[in-house]
């Protein structure tokens, strides 16, 4: 079972994490599924056949088979990879074999793409649950948590600068949560980033909330029974069932930036031009997991990204160089997209934060001139 969010928040604060919301009120257990089902008797669940597994039918689904994943994506690195969720009967027997093959592929792709940093070795996915066949349901617990400071959802930004400053500071919080707190968030989305008043948020203009899916580094399986998260912001490798790393959260931040500019940005009063009738980003949440992964992989190619950037309103023209810079950091390209996770987190965090700083300074200078 996953630890309560309040416990992770308190641990993070104790470990010196900066910019994270603080717990001000907590009710540990209002009720739970096990309590609601107490005394009820259920017959054997009926197994349906031929039910299509589509990403837009559920954002919390069992993972598809491993057999047709990487073969469909030539050039896709699995340097940060682990393994797809398996039942306990086949996990132990196949893990060592897959680890060896994944490690060899990771090293080969690392050399091919000319990366000069070492990458993390493959690890087992944190979504493995050893007792799937023993428990017919996940015992979800209803808890009440009050945190401070309050803020607005990042999707409610009122200016380009406010969006960029909020995202940049949320990334700084994520960096501290991971490097100082040894906690990985694993659910970056537009719903879990808030815009805050720096006066009552330790100087941060953006913060992270919702550690419900977070996981302490070095701990065992998280207890999650299914792959969860917000589909349009899931990293490519996460969609393919690969073990979640900090790099995947940074990739999710990038998708949030693109999404907010292309989809939410048209609501700004300064937005001009004609909004596309059909967005390319619709492919980020329709179809199966592997379909979405393939779409995102194409969109993260240099040419693919330029097509996506055309959907930005004119007021976001100054954000386009930032998107290109982040793409180059996350997806170094030589013979194919390289998606490995560096051993040193600062290799990714530092240039991404600097890219935000540069964009904020450039856009701010332009606003002063006008």
Query: Where along the chain do its domains lie?
Result: 153-368
pLDDT number for residue 366: 67
Instruction: Write down the pLDDT at residue 132.
Output: 46
pLDDT of res. 338: 77
Dihedral angle sign, alpha carbons of residues 115, 120, 126, 128: positive
Q: Is the model's pTM score more than 0.85?
A: no
Which of 349, 161, 181, 124 is closest to 249 using CA atoms? 349
**What average pLDDT values come out for the chain (370 residues) when binned by 10 residues?**
84 93 85 87 74 43 36 38 34 36 43 58 46 63 88 96 98 97 96 95 94 85 60 93 94 98 88 83 93 95 94 95 97 75 94 98 71
Classify residue 4 by its DSSP letter: P
Q: What's residue 115's pLDDT? A: 56
Q: Exposed e or buried b for every residue in 260-297, given b needs 16+ CB within 10 A?
A: bbbbbbbebeeeeeeeeeeebbebbbebbbbebbbbbb
Q: What share of the chain is helix, strand, coil (3-state, %, to 5)?
A: 45, 10, 45
Architecture of domain 153-368: Orthogonal Bundle (1.10)
- Res 361: pLDDT: 96
pLDDT of residue 32: 86
The side-by-side arrangement of strands in the sheet containing 152-153 is: 152-153, 193-195, 206-208
Distance CA 181, CA 11 (A): 7
Residues 6+ apart with CB under 8 A from 81: 102, 106, 122, 237, 242, 243
């Amino acid at each position: 079972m996953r630890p309560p969010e309040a416990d992770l928040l308190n641990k993070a604060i104790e470990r010196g994490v900066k910019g994270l919301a603080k717990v001000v009120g907590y009710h540990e257990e209002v009720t739970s599924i096990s309590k609601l089902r107490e005394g009820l008797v259920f017959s054997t669940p009926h197994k349906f056949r031929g039910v299509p597994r589509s990403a837009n039918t559920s954002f919390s689904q069992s993972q598809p088979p491993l057999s047709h994943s990487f073969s469909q994506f030539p050039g896709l690195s699995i340097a940060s990879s682990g393994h797809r969720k398996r039942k306990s009967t086949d996990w132990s027997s196949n893990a060592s074999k897959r680890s060896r093959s994944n490690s060899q592929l990771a090293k080969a792709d690392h050399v091919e793409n000319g990366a000069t940093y070492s990458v993390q070795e493959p690890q087992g996915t944190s979504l493995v649950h050893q007792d799937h066949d023993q428990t017919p349901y996940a015992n979800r617990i209803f808890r009440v948590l009050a945190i401070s400071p309050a803020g607005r959802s990042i999707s409610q930004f009122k200016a380009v600068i406010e969006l960029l400053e909020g995202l940049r500071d949320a990334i700084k919080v994520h960096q501290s949560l991971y490097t100082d707190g040894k906690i990985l968030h694993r659910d970056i989305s537009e719903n879990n980033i808030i815009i805050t008043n720096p006066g009552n948020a330790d100087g941060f203009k953006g913060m992270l909330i919702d550690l419900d899916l977070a996981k302490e580094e070095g701990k065992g399986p998280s207890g999650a029974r299914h792959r969860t998260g917000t589909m349009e912001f899931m990293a490519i490798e996460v969609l393919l069932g690969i073990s979640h790393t900090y790099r995947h959260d940074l990739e999710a931040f990038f998708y949030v930036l693109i999404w907010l500019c292309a989809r939410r940005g048209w609501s700004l009063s300064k937005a001009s031009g004609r909004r596309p009738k059909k967005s390319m980003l619709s492919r980020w949440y329709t179809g199966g997991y592997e379909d979405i992964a393939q779409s995102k992989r194409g969109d993260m190619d240099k040419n693919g990204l330029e097509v996506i950037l055309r959907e930005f309103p004119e007021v976001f023209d100054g954000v386009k160089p930032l998107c290109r810079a982040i793409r180059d950091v996350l997806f170094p390209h030589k013979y194919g997209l390289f998606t490995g996770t560096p051993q040193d987190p600062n290799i990714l965090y530092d240039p991404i934060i600097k890219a935000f700083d540069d964009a904020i300074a450039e856009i701010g200078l332009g606003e002063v001139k006008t």
